Amino acid sequence: MNKKIVIIGASGHGKVVANIAKLNGYDEILFLDDDTSKKSCGRYPVAGTSKDIRQYKGNYDFIIAIGNNRIREKISDMLERENIKQTTLIHPSAVIDETVKIKEGTVIMANAAVNAEVQIGRSCIINTSSSIDHECILEDYVHVSPGVHVAGTVSIGKSTWIGIGATIINNLSICANCNIRAGAVVVKDVIESGDYQGVPAKKKE
């Protein structure tokens, strides 16, 4: 592992990712962001835009710190075209079972718990104090917000966002490109993409 890392996305989320990088032993951290007005992100410099990735290739690790699933996918694909493999970052306080499989680009934040035989796809976000129970499958670019609880044997489709404090009961499937809003409780399969809210969660018309 390099001791230097480029974080793409200079935002509040990026500050959290930078802290995890520091706790993982990175001693040089810099940001790239396509908003050229940004000169720093917390204590770290914004050294350029996504067009500058090639100058750091080979000498730095890379991670994307952008909450928007579609933008994260777009930049992840750009890195792949440049043959840049993203690192993964896990906060030291997270509890990750040894059987968990995690693909590149995923960030797991403070006090998260991920239990036995969970599979987490590419460039996912498992946010602060969330829990993913046994044998769940999270496809690429899923964003699990703070305080979310996902019970066992749940499948969450590509690019779905689970809002803060939402709960998903066991043995369910949620299709791709859904937005499960804050505090929602999902008690049955979600088979159609869209926004879902309430207790129990229903599609927003």
Looking at the annotation, which residues are catalytic? 134
DSSP 30-67: EEE-S-TT--EETTEEEEE-GGGGGGGBTTBEEEE---
- In Å, how far are 23, 106, 135, 143, 144 from 130, measured between CA atoms? 19, 14, 16, 11, 7
Give the residue numbers of the binding site for substrate. 11-13, 33-34, 67
Give the residue numbers of the binding site. 11-13, 33-34, 67, 143, 164
Question: Which residue is associated with the tokens 């926004």?
Answer: 195
Give the residue numbers of the binding site for acetyl-CoA. 143, 164
CA angle 60, 32, 29 (to 5 degrees): 45
Cβ neighbours of 27 (radius 10 Å): 9
Indicate the SS3 state at residue 75. Answer: helix
**H/E run at residue 205:** none
Indicate the SS3 state at residue 167. Answer: strand
**H/E run at residue 184:** none
